């Protein structure tokens, strides 16, 4: 038996099964449903030891349907409030919920439930990765650099909020849709970013998180009710960033900065897809932070070599981004661009507007920039001192090696 096949199917079918069963039995039974789906895969692991079915996905779907009746009997025995169906037209209705279009609708409902604004941002991410994407608590804790016990508490808290606030298992409409969409976009953006530049101590890139965020945003965009210019811009941004994933690290896992990346390794089909998606994203004149971030990423991809980067245009997009969504990270990026343009004092003045602590786990970027500034000013001792400060705040091993190599380089100059 191929355990990788089981893992692959679990990742891609867990969310589908949980979503459909939740649509039938309600959010109040979410924990029981998740246990039932887990049981289905345990059964598959046992049943497939001797012989993997010819159509494993169909096998799992059938097993999930059978679990509907198992859950029904369990809930009825516990005298819980459950839908009254056992046969006839009700059974046909259940089968209909396992059609591809209905499965996708159920998953969309789960996305909007898991990303509800009544849940805290951290609870939303954990809830989405668990109920929609099939990540275990251990996988979530590893991906988000958080203790597994903390993740379990977030999941319990999220379920309690969903239950106590009677959050509906539905896709919102009207004015409520905009707010809920914003929350969904935010969660998927954070999931992708954690994959593209992880806070994990061991891994800088988590491709599975990037892929999952891209899969979920495509699901949102496939529905005519939930697609939006902001969503298209977010998807384009993901495409542009994902196109560079294979060029970010050496075979040994060492960081290759943008200046030294092999641009022939960039995945051009993804870049073309991002460009096509951006056409849909700019069909009106209202631009979000995702629009500007995608425009910045596109400018980097457009340059055939680092030296031909249009820093003036990137600075323009960054300033527009800061206008609608001010953040210390955007300020730092503006300072970096000013440095690239040779405006050293303007860059330094911009840096002084930033409090390093506001960058949280990324505070090392502040000191890394400061080191670069002093190096260009030919103040070697200050450059070394700054990079030493960066080393005290960095957690990721690859980034630590990158900074150490940079420190050695400065010392030899």
Query: Does any domain span residue 173?
Result: no
pLDDT in tens, 196-236: 887 666 777 888 889 989 999 999 999 999 999 999 999 99
Q: How many helices (H) and strands (E) in the chain? A: 19, 0
Strands (E), 259-350: none
The per-residue pLDDT for 208 is 82
As a whole number, mean pLDDT of residues 395-409 equals 90
Question: Is residue 332 included in any domain, yes or no?
Answer: no
**Cα(22)–Cα(169) distance, integer angstroms:** 8
Q: Has residue 28 been placed in a domain?
A: yes
Residue at token pair 């897809």? 273
Our measurement of the distance from residue 254's CA atom to the centroid of its chain's CA atoms, rounded to an integer in Å, reads 23
Most confident range (mean pLDDT) of 272-276, 357-361, 399-403 is 272-276
In a domain, 50, yes or no: yes
- 398: containing domain: 343-413
Per-chain mean pLDDT for the chain: 87
Amino acid 86: pLDDT: 47
Task: Output the domain CATH number for residue 387.
Answer: 1.25.40
pLDDT at 88 over 50: no
Does the pLDDT at position 412 exceed 90?
Answer: no
405 within domain boundaries:
yes
Name the pTM for this structure: 0.85
CA distance 382 to 372: 10
> How many domains, in total, are found in the chain?
2
Residue 408 structure tokens: 């050695």
Point out the domain boundary residue: 63, 98, 133.
98
Write the pLDDT tens digit of every residue in 37-61: 888 777 777 777 777 888 877 777 7
In degrees, rounded to 5, the angle at the alpha carbon of residue 263 between the alpha carbons of residues 261 and 268 is 135
What CATH number is associated with residue 26?
1.10.1740
* Residue 164, number of CB atoms within 10 A of its CB: 9
Helix, strand and coil content of the chain, in percent to the nearest 5, comes to 75, 0, 25
Q: How does 197-212 read in b/e, with b if 16+ C-beta sit within 10 Å? A: ebbbeebbbbeebbbb
Res. 4 pLDDT band, cuts 50 70 90 = low
Domain stops at, among 98, 113, 143? 98
Q: Is residue 207 part of a domain?
A: no
Distance between CA atoms of 163 and 85, rounded to whole angstroms? 23
Residue 201 forms part of a structural domain: no
> Where among 41, 72, 98 does a domain terminate?
98
Which of 107, 110, 25, 11 is CA-nearest to residue 57?
11
Q: Are 170 and 112 in contact (CB under 8 A)?
A: yes
Question: Where is mean pLDDT largest: 186-190, 266-270, 391-395?
Answer: 266-270
Task: Tell me, yes or no, whether 31 lies in a domain.
Answer: yes
């Amino acid at each position: 038996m191929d355990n990788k096949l089981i893992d692959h199917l679990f990742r891609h079918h867990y969310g589908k099964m949980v979503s459909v069963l939740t649509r039938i039995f309600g959010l109040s039974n979410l924990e029981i449903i998740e246990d039932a789906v887990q049981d289905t895969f345990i059964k598959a692991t046992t049943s497939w030891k001797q012989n993997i079915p010819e159509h494993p996905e169909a096998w799992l779907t059938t097993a999930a349907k059978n679990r509907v009746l198992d859950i029904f009997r369990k809930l009825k025995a516990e005298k819980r409030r459950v839908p009254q169906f056992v046969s006839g037209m009700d059974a046909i209705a259940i089968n209909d919920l396992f059609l591809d279009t209905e499965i996708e609708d159920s998953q969309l409902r789960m996305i909007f439930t898991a990303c509800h604004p009544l849940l805290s941002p951290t609870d939303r991410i954990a809830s989405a990765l668990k109920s929609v994407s099939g990540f275990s608590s251990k996988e979530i804790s590893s991906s988000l650099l958080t203790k597994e016990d903390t993740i379990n508490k977030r999941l319990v808290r999220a379920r309690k909020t969903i239950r106590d606030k009677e959050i509906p298992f539905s896709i919102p409409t009207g004015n409520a849709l905009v707010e809920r969409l914003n929350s969904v976009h935010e969660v998927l953006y954070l999931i992708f970013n954690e994959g593209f530049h992880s806070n994990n101590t061991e891994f800088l890139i988590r491709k599975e998180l990037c892929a999952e965020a891209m899969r979920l945003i495509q699901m949102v965009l496939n529905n005519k009710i939930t697609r939006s210019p902001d969503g298209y811009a977010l998807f384009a941004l993901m495409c542009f960033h994902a196109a560079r994933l294979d060029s970010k690290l050496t075979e040994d896992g060492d960081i290759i900065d943008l200046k030294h990346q092999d641009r022939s390794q960039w995945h051009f089909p993804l870049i073309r897809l991002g460009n096509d998606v951006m056409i849909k994203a700019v069909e009106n004149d209202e631009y979000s932070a995702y629009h500007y971030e995608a425009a910045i990423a596109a400018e980097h991809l457009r340059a055939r070599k680092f030296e031909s980067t249009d820093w003036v245009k990137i600075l323009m997009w960054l300033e527009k981004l800061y206008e609608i969504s001010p953040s210390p990270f955007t300020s730092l990026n503006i300072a970096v661009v000013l440095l690239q343009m040779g405006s050293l004092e303007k860059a330094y003045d911009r840096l002084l507007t930033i409090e390093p602590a506001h960058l949280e786990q990324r505070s090392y970027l502040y000191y890394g920039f400061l080191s670069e500034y002093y190096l260009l000013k030919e103040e070697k001792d200050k450059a070394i001192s700054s990079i030493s400060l960066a080393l005290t705040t960095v957690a990721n091993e690859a980034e630590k090696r990158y900074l150490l190599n940079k420190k050695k380089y400065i010392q030899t100059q």
